[in-house]
Amino acid sequence: MSTAPLSIKIDTTYKERLNRLALDRQRSSHALAREAIERFIEEEEFKAQALRDAVASHAEYLETGLHLTLEEVDGWLATWGTDNEQEAPPCHT
C-alpha cells in the first residue's frame, strides 16, 4: 500500500491528549492518529454499506412482501451453536 502525507489541524487539547496516549502506549502520536483515521474510515464505510443494504432490503420487501417474523428469526438464531442448528426459515408473504 502506498502512503501520502496528510496535514491536519486539531484543537491543542486533543494534540496534548494524543501525545499522552502515545507516551503511555510507547507509540508515536503519528501512528496513533493514522490508526484512528483508518479505523474511522473503515467504520464509516461499514455503516454506509449497512444503510445501503437496509434500504435495498426494504425496497425488496415493499416489492415482494417476503419477510420473516421476529419470532421466526429469534427461534432460528436460538439454534445457532447448538447440536440442533437449523437452516434459515423460508421467507413468506
pLDDT of residue 3: 94
Which residue's C-alpha cell is 479505523?
39
pLDDT of residue 1: 85
pLDDT of residue 44: 98
- For residue 34, give Cα distances in angstroms to 1, 6, 9, 12: 14, 10, 14, 18
Distance between terminal CA atoms of the chain?
48
For the chain, list residues with pLDDT below 70.
none
pLDDT of residue 92: 97
pLDDT of residue 37: 98
